[in-house]
Amino acid sequence: MGSGILRQAPAWAVSMLLHIVVLLSMALIVQEPPKEEKPRTITSSAPEVQEEFEEFEEELPEDQPETPQDVSNEVVLPDATVVEDVQVVTDAADVDAAAVSVEFTDFSTETAPSSDLLSAVGAVGGQAGGMGGRSGAQRQKLVQSGGGSAASEAAVEAGIKWIVQHQMPDGSWNFDHAKSPSCNGNCSHPGKYKDRAGATAMALLPMLGRGYTHKEGPYKKQFEAGVSFLAAQAASQNGAIFEKGGGSHPLYVQGLGGIVLTETYAMTQDKRLAMPAQAALNFIMAAQDPVGGGWRYQPKQPGDTSAVGWQLMALKSGHMAFLQVSPLTIRKAVEFLNGVQQDDGAAYGYADPGNGPGTSAVGLLCRMYLGWKKDNPALQRGVARLAKIGPNADLYYDYYATQILHHMEGEQWVAWNTKMRDMLVKSQSKKGHEAGSWFEGFERGHGPEYGGRLYCTSLATMILEVYYRHLPLYSGQSVDEEFKE
């Protein structure tokens, strides 16, 4: 019936009915309102990119205290375990960067037995060049055979005593020795350089040369306070030993401190020092100029021969302590020396080829430790030039040149030693609180203005320890011909 009604209705009525049905259907449809989109935080998992530094001091932690806490009489070295597989940081601009595996090697082609840390090999083809002669009957024997005397040995003890008397309450030393409570300005010519880590290293080096550590000798407590100061620096600053704001030559301090930590570890086998010592070496390796292979004041700067000498000596001491040294670092250092040498390696400049007495002495000693044999013609010519100049009251030059002549032995060494030894024994201060120290007569040398009396006393004492501080590198080797100018 419904269909019949639709057939009988007019067309306009049917159309209106259909429109009403459609409108009612649309009204019944429920449409959800659009959801409000919440703001999203986008987090990137990519590592933060750090800019290359221009001044290393900006890389040190901002909250690093300027002055470490005073140490008590019971000094505790930082806890550490033996380093078996330490890796080198490859970017000095990011000392926290993930390390990459590096194959390590020794300085020379020989490897010393790990059971005897104190007789590590020296230059290629040489005899033991380690630290085994620094104490006991062996030391006395080397003094007698090498040209030392009772007077020179007494001068060494007096020098070390003066150094110990000027230690600071926190275990460090200061180039401005007048700040020491025991001195209170009674000694003249304080230094100007501010870095206490550098002063501490220079204070401890003569003690190490004498065989004195925190385990042996008359100054155990004083030594432990000092080495703890340096170890704490390295442990808290990713291997950096120098003080923030301590001066404009931080890598010089790094090299000196590196020698102290590695030699102390070698001589005492104190496992607590393994990590700070290796970290200090890692910092040195990471700070090398990647282009020229040298070191200077700040990490990765183009190098100078003087800074290179301290870093290579630290790396060599680390090698003798059986710590890890990258062969790439050594190869790059050789490239630097090649770039500043003159006369095929008989002479060396500062940052360019040259023939300065001090820089030549540094360069030649580095060549010795890097493997040059005693009969190397360039080495022979260089040594002859140094012997002709003779000791010249520049303790920096005398320190390096004395080691070179001692390693070469022979008539040139005898002549050099007699003059050097007697000059130092005679010039050592004998009066008042300055007794045992050196400064007068050495003012015009390299460094006394900034290092002061402590600097001069440290170098002079180490020069008089040359007979036993390092065993001769070339004992048993023959020289075909003496080279003379």
Mean pLDDT along residues 46-72: 31
370/66: higher pLDDT: 370
Contact 279, 235 (CB under 8 A): yes
Among the listed residues 166, 263, 264, 139, the one whose alpha carbon sits nearest the alpha carbon of residue 222: 166
- Give residue 4's pLDDT: 53
Which residues sit opposite 100 in a β-bridge? 88
For the chain, give the secondary structure using H, E and C: CHHHHHHHCCHHHHHHHHHHHHHHHHHHCCCCCCCCCCCCCCCCCCCCCCCCCCCHHHHCCCCCCCCCCCCCCCCCCCCCCCCCCCCECCCCCCCCCCCECCCCCCCCCCCCCCCCHHHCECCCCCCECCCCCCCHHHHHHHHHHHCCCHHHHHHHHHHHHHHHHCCCCCCCCCCCHHHCCCCCCCCCCCCCCCCHHHHHHHHHHHHHHCCCCCCCCCCHHHHHHHHHHHHHHHHHCCCCCCCCCCCCCHHHHHHHHHHHHHHHHHHHCCHHHHHHHHHHHHHHHHCCCCCCCCCCCCCCCCCCHHHHHHHHHHHHHHHHCCCCCCHHHHHHHHHHHHHHEEHHHCEECCCCCCCCHHHHHHHHHHHHHCCCCCCCHHHHHHHHHHHHHCCCCCHHHHHHHHHHHHHHCHHHHHHHHHHHHHHHHHHCCCCHHHCCCCCCCCCCCCCHHHHHHHHHHHHHHHHHCHHHHCCCCCCCCCCCCCCCC
Residues 313, 290: Cα–Cα separation, whole Å: 19
Residue with tokens 């670092």: 329
Mean pLDDT along residues 193-215: 97
Among the listed residues 73, 272, 71, 258, the one whose alpha carbon sits nearest the alpha carbon of residue 172: 71
Among the listed residues 316, 396, 384, the one whose alpha carbon sits nearest the alpha carbon of residue 359: 396
Residue 129 reports pLDDT greater than 50: no
- Give residue 11's pLDDT: 64
Tokens linked to 61: 């932690």
- Give residue 131's pLDDT: 83
- Give residue 467's pLDDT: 97
Residue-wise pLDDT tens digits, 290-320:
999 999 999 999 999 999 999 999 999 999 9
- What number of CA atoms fall less than 13 Å from residue 107's CA on the CB side? 31
- Give residue 65's pLDDT: 33
- Geometric angle at alpha carbon 399, from 346 and 210, rounded to 5°: 135
Contact 249, 100 (CB under 8 A): no
- Give residue 438's pLDDT: 98
Mean pLDDT along residues 167-184: 96
Residue 424 reports pLDDT greater than 90: yes
> Would you give the distance in Å from CA 481 to the centre of its chain?
37
Residue 252 reports pLDDT greater than 60: yes
Residues 208, 135: Cα–Cα separation, whole Å: 10
- Give residue 245's pLDDT: 84
Residues 6, 15: Cα–Cα separation, whole Å: 11
- Give residue 132's pLDDT: 84
- Crossing angle (nearest 10°) for helices 448-464 and 395-408: 20
- Give residue 82's pLDDT: 36
Report the share of the chain in percent with pLDDT over 90: 66
- Give residue 471's pLDDT: 87
- What number of CA atoms fall less than 13 Å from residue 178's CA on the CB side? 11
Residue-wise pLDDT tens digits, 441-476:
998 878 899 999 999 999 999 999 999 998 888 875
Residue 91 reports pLDDT greater than 90: no
Contact 198, 192 (CB under 8 A): no
Residues 54, 51: Cα–Cα separation, whole Å: 9
- Give residue 21's pLDDT: 57
The DSSP bridge pattern shows strands 347-348 and 341-342 to be: antiparallel
- Give residue 20's pLDDT: 62
Contact 217, 207 (CB under 8 A): yes
Residue 122 reports pLDDT greater than 70: no
Mean pLDDT along residues 248-257: 96
Q: Which of 218-222, 253-257, 390-394 has the weakest average pLDDT?
A: 390-394
Among the listed residues 469, 112, 128, 86, the one whose alpha carbon sits nearest the alpha carbon of residue 322: 112
Residue with tokens 């020795």: 177
Go through the domains of the chain in sequence order and give each one's CATH number: 122-469 (1.50.10.20)
| Residue 481 zone, left/alpha/beta (φ > 0; ψ -120 to 50; rest) | beta
Residue-wise pLDDT tens digits, 9-21:
566 665 666 666 5
Residue 47 reports pLDDT greater than 50: no
Residue 28 reports pLDDT greater than 90: no
Residue 99 reports pLDDT greater than 50: no
Residue-wise pLDDT tens digits, 269-295:
999 999 999 999 999 999 999 999 999
Q: Which of 78-82, 222-226, 398-402 has the weakest average pLDDT?
A: 78-82
Q: Which of 103-112, 431-440, 461-470 has the weakest average pLDDT?
A: 103-112
Residues 339, 304: Cα–Cα separation, whole Å: 11
